[in-house]
Structure 1
Amino acid sequence: MAPSNDKLNKAIGTRNCCVVGLCVAWFTGFAAIGGGFYCIYLDNAEIGLKSHFIIPHAAKEMIPLGMNILVTFLNESMGYIHSTTLRWSLQFDNRLTFNSNLRLLSSSARFKSNKWYANVGFLFSIILSYATTSLIFLGWNPALSETFDSEAHSIPVDQIRVSGIALIFFGIGLLGQAGLATWALNTTQVPTWSSNPLDTVLACTDETNPNQLMRRTDRCMKSVHQIKEDSHPCKPKARQGPACTAHPEVKWVLTLLWLLVPLGGIWGGAIYTMILRGNPHGVLGNSWSFVPTFTGTPLLDCNGAARCTDGTSVLNVGWTAKNGVIANIGSIFLIAFFQAVVTLALHCAELLVNLSRDEGIFRMTITPEGTNPRYNSIIAAFSSWQTITLFVSKAAVHWLFGLSINNDFILGVNMYPPQIIYFTAFALMVAIFSTYVSLRRPVGPLPATFGHLQTMADLIDDWEDRMFWGHKQDGYGGLPSYAGTSARRLQMPRMDEFYGGAKNSRMSVSGSFVSGMSEEHLAASYDMQYHGGMFNSYSYGY
């Protein structure tokens, strides 16, 4: 059955939900900028309210976690718009190969909203929004200041100051993403907002598509790993190849994710070594608590360090926020520089999860339930353990990064070796998770696709609302058997038989010939096409 446009799930509800998130991002961005200027006004006013308040130290460390969760939610909403419009921009460029792509590292040739400079702006905005979450609420610890022999201050303990500059840059980061997402939304024609690869293939194979994806025959048992092979028949495989050998960019993503681990180790080790060797701006502490703590109790044996306490080890870099706008902006971009690699790596990890999602959706064709005709991208995301794991990992890693390097209102930028180690350990967990996802080998005879559109189009011969895949027609007299999709559940392919050919040129399961040709004529025709007329001596033993 040929694909029909009336079967296409346009997923308007998903689009509307993303638009709601986009509107929230616009509102939050403007509110942040307005609030930032108001905080600056309060700090410069001689009388009246000031932009500070008092909360417990532990609560101060938890505020950035809540901010990171909010930022991750807004970034995901705008990122979905950006990735969907990129998908169809690439399709209109006739360059769309996979359903899932690295949206910030893939660019369109014709659509300006998805060109490379728009992607650079989007990436910069994401980094800025994450980097500022730990810099908006600036704490001050008098015990640490006394340890550094800082001048006395009358500021109450656990006072939190709101950085107007950081709040403004946080708003700029959100508005940058919102502006680019809105631009892409208004300039890109999107046939479907569904993330389901089946919907993407259906839209690409539609006859009205100017770059219509054509189904190729004789490839009913060829996986994405065999995309460069010819159309010779082959036997089903009990286990398919992994994503890391299916998509050319997976190995680079894994390299970047694993690179975070030694970089974090080098960073933490270098800072700790500087403290041990007596750096005048370092404090050696014996506390390895998860959240940095400072009691101000000095220790006598510092083992070569300039000073030591029973609190958390710390190296002070300076660039204090109290030294004016330039120092405040400098601290923001210093931390953003460190955070750029983290943000890019976590963004790339999306590809691995999305490839696994795409493969899981298509493999529903060999389950008793079949494919889901009521697929909802948002519900699917919240019900996927891989997507939830990545979402939590993004928020947690950025929060841990904020614990590793942050800004003290009096002392400036501080780096904490224990927290850097914890950040590195969590980055290791993310790398292990991503490696597991990319190395998993799907089980079953259904050829793996991982969202490769041409491979999926080759495997689907009948489009139905709910589809099943399996053995459809028997081979005969040297002709291979045939597998495809159907509205009813099919038997699994026979593992010892060869599959290939086209549906309309072979015998059905019931034994009747579809084309009406004789068995000898069919076999000779197929043999002449693929084997140069050597039917009598040809063997499938390869």
Structure 2
Amino acid sequence: MEVEGNFQSAALNRQRRTSLSIVDHSEAENKMSGYLRDSPSNIENEYLLKTLSPQTSTSRLPDFDCGRTTKILAYCGLVVTWLLIACCITFGVVCIVKGPASSYLYPTAMADTSRGVEVLALVVNTLLTFCLDSLGFIHGSSLRWALAREGRLQHNTNLRLFKSAQNQPQNSWLANSIDGISLIICYAATSQLFALGIVVAEQSDPLPWFDGYYVNGVALLMLAGGLALKASISSWIVISSSHAILTWNSNPLNSALTLVHNGLGHRKNRCMLSVKQANVPAIPTRPTRKQPSSTGSVRSVRYVVMFAWTLPTLALGWLLSVFFIFRRATLEYPAVHFSWAWQFDAVSINLPRKGALTLILAVLFMAAIQAAQTMCLHAVELIVNISRDEKAWRSAACNTGGGARLQTSALSSASLSWENMGLFVAKTVLHWLMGQAVIIEVEKLGTDEPMVYWFNMGYLPILAYFVGALLLAIFTTALAFRRPKGPQPAAYGHFQTLADLIDDWMVDEKGRFWWGDKGVGENGVRHAGTSCKKGELGYIDMDASYAGSR
């Protein structure tokens, strides 16, 4: 389907036909005009921004929020990440230099117990998830406005690793591939930060071995390398193209307002048409008591749901494989008995005796295992963020909502969203469980003997991982198939739909506006729309047809 307008034509026509300028003469908006000239003239896509109207007046538009606070928080996350990289490099070198000879490991202060190591691993995973989410926010914000300049921006939320920009190298397919690989390496290295050391024979090393947990210096350096790749891409964005990001505020309403300031037009007589009806003609439509789910409205959601179910399927196969292998071992060796202990090693895999190379291969092996999980969790972000985008819009309902806000903090929005916090916990716990399910063990046979490396797989951690993956799949499916209640048409962060449904962007003194019935429109048909005065709106008449215009 051919696009009828784009940022380029909108900017040029605005210069010819009107002397109106954007209300907020901020630096970001002034610089936007330079990027508009490079936009493509024709793009084919089903849900593309379609009607960029040069006649759109900005005289009744409030200023959009540039998201300065959110930008500062994102920069702070980037700084914390670089500090974490420096710490990983420092401690990694210390482990290699100060540890037992040629072991690349360093004993921990909690060598006699696994409980402290498990808690420390969970803390590290939580900190890592925070840093990676901060870097992902910078990458996603850059992608959003790169797609806008190319005329390809459809939704507020995009799968940043699976969608690339054509004219911005920081969001190209190559940069996305590097970003995705480094993301996998980060989580894989984190799961191997601690190795279990076992002394089998007497030894006379200057730094003697003892039974307990050791810090893996090689894994620390690989974690630093993965984080450095991701942080470099984010730093590249900050240095070279942060000025091209019109707003750092991820609120879909604020992003839609920003696009309206830059030419996205309001299509009349579509006040009761949802994103699922984005391409149907503007005809009088009766409201429905429930809106379509995101699965039926956003094409990529259904693929994410299917992807989410592959994780518990693979986990179940892993669990059954370990069970049957252990069962066979108990038949051949009756002395081996099953245990429900958390650290009970059901299956052990012998690794080559190659020192540092073995530790590197161990991280890469874990990366291969964790690849599906990492990409699945990234894909689930799409559904979670789409759900949050829809919640921001539905808060405008005059009969139930407390009013929609254009200016919201990304941190507060994420913290107050149970879906977002649920995904954050899922990321942390699932990656932590993966590390608990596969523990690297190093056996010291003697002073002059090479070390023996094992991968120990615990039955109970794998079972817990399967339960966690199953809960994630159920959580994802429930969000994807949830149908919002009420007559307010669903938008799911689709910008053209939001521009069609919002006919008045003005807000009250608290920065709010509402959506509801506005009476009979100019064509004799009832009209629904938005207003900063809640008292001017009525409840939607479920028996009437709506297609009026302001």
Q: TM-score by structure 1 length?
A: 0.82
Question: Quick one: distance in 1 between partners of 2:361 and 2:350?
Answer: 10
- Matching residue of 1:319: 351
Question: Quick one: distance in 1 between partners of 2:115 and 2:471?
Answer: 25
- Matching residue of 2:153: 96
1:104-183 equivalence runs, <5 A: 104-140=161-197, 158-183=211-236
Matched, 1:386 2:443: no
Partner SS for 2:227:
helix
Shift of 1:443: 1.0
CA RMSD, 1 decimal: 2.4
Matched, 1:496 2:538: no
> Is this contact kept in 1: 2:70–2:411, CA < 8 A?
yes
Q: For residue 115 of structure 2, what is the amino acid of its counterpart?
A: A
Shift of 1:225: 1.2
- Matching residue of 1:377: 410
Distance 1:203-1:75 versus aligned 2 partners, 3 A rule: same
1:145-294 equivalence runs, <5 A: 158-188=211-241, 189-206=244-261, 209=262, 212-278=263-329, 285-289=337-341, 291-292=342-343
Question: Quick one: distance in 2 between partners of 1:62 and 1:36?
Answer: 20
Q: For residue 351 of structure 2, what is the amino acid of its counterpart?
A: W
Task: Work out which of the residue numbers 114, 119, 124 in structure 2 matches 1:62.
Answer: 119
Question: Quick one: distance in 2 between partners of 1:435 and 1:335?
Answer: 27
Shift of 1:318: 2.1
- Matching residue of 2:433: 400
Matched, 1:420 2:465: no
Q: For residue 103 of structure 1, what is the amino acid of its counterpart?
A: R
Q: For residue 379 of structure 1, what is the amino acid of its counterpart?
A: S
Shift of 1:369: 2.4
Partner SS for 2:269:
coil
Shift of 1:259: 0.7
Question: Quick one: distance in 2 between partners of 1:132 and 1:392?
Answer: 19
Distance 1:429-1:91 versus aligned 2 partners, 3 A rule: same
Deviations 1:234-280 (A, max 9, x none): 00111111111111111111111111111111112112212222399
Partner SS for 1:500:
coil
- Matching residue of 1:474: 520
Partner SS for 2:245:
coil
Distance 1:224-1:373 versus aligned 2 partners, 3 A rule: closer
Q: For residue 135 of structure 1, what is the amino acid of its counterpart?
A: Q
Matched, 1:449 2:491: yes
Matched, 1:7 2:63: yes
- Matching residue of 1:515: none
Question: Quick one: distance in 2 between partners of 1:326 and 1:119?
Answer: 28
> Is this contact kept in 2: 1:97–1:453, CA < 8 A?
yes
Q: Which moved more, 1:373-382 or 1:94-103?
A: 373-382
> Is this contact kept in 2: 1:113–1:187, CA < 8 A?
no
Distance 1:153-1:364 versus aligned 2 partners, 3 A rule: farther
Partner SS for 1:484:
strand
Q: For residue 121 of structure 2, what is the amino acid of its counterpart?
A: P
Deviations 1:335-368 (A, max 9, x none): 1100010011011111111011000000111145
Question: Quick one: distance in 2 between partners of 1:281 and 1:103?
Answer: 51
> Is this contact kept in 1: 2:521–2:549, CA < 8 A?
no
Partner SS for 1:133:
helix
Distance 1:377-1:26 versus aligned 2 partners, 3 A rule: same
Question: Quick one: distance in 2 between partners of 1:94 and 1:284?
Answer: 64
Question: Quick one: distance in 2 between partners of 1:283 and 1:24?
Answer: 51
Task: Work out which of the residue numbers 500, 508, 530 in structure 2 matches 1:485.
Answer: 530
Distance 1:397-1:222 versus aligned 2 partners, 3 A rule: same
Shift of 1:283: 9.6
1:500-539 equivalence runs, <5 A: 500-503=547-550
Partner SS for 2:338:
strand
Question: Quick one: distance in 1 between partners of 2:282 and 2:108?
Answer: 70
Partner SS for 1:467:
strand
Matched, 1:437 2:479: yes
Question: Quick one: distance in 2 between partners of 1:253 and 1:470?
Answer: 33
Distance 1:376-1:109 versus aligned 2 partners, 3 A rule: same
Question: Quick one: distance in 2 between partners of 1:449 and 1:500?
Answer: 17
Partner SS for 1:390:
helix
Q: For residue 291 of structure 2, what is the amino acid of its counterpart?
A: Q
> Is this contact kept in 1: 2:395–2:403, CA < 8 A?
yes
Distance 1:431-1:99 versus aligned 2 partners, 3 A rule: same
Question: Quick one: distance in 2 between partners of 1:6 and 1:285?
Answer: 70
Question: Quick one: distance in 2 between partners of 1:401 and 1:6?
Answer: 48
Partner SS for 1:191:
coil
Q: For residue 462 of structure 1, what is the amino acid of its counterpart?
A: D
Q: Which moved more, 1:70-79 or 1:182-191?
A: 182-191
Deviations 1:396-442 (A, max 9, x none): 00011111112112242222233212101110001111111111111
Distance 1:472-1:66 versus aligned 2 partners, 3 A rule: same
> Could you list the runs of 5+ residues in structure 1 that have no partner in the other structure?
143-149, 293-311, 504-542
Alignment identity in percent?
33
Partner SS for 1:471:
strand
Partner SS for 2:347:
strand
> Is this contact kept in 2: 1:275–1:283, CA < 8 A?
no
Partner SS for 1:181:
helix
Shift of 1:33: 1.6
> Could you list the runs of 5+ residues in structure 2 that have no partner in the other structure?
1-55, 444-452
> Is this contact kept in 2: 1:161–1:409, CA < 8 A?
no
> Is this contact kept in 2: 1:242–1:438, CA < 8 A?
yes
Partner SS for 2:491:
coil
Question: Quick one: distance in 2 between partners of 1:213 and 1:347?
Answer: 29
- Matching residue of 1:26: 82
> Is this contact kept in 2: 1:275–1:284, CA < 8 A?
no
Length, aligned pairs only: 468
Shift of 1:282: 12
User: Which portions of structure 1, spanning 4 or more consecutive aligned residues, are displaced by more than 4 angstroms?
Assistant: 1-6, 150-158, 279-285
Matched, 1:37 2:93: yes
- Matching residue of 1:304: none
Question: Quick one: distance in 2 between partners of 1:283 and 1:97?
Answer: 62
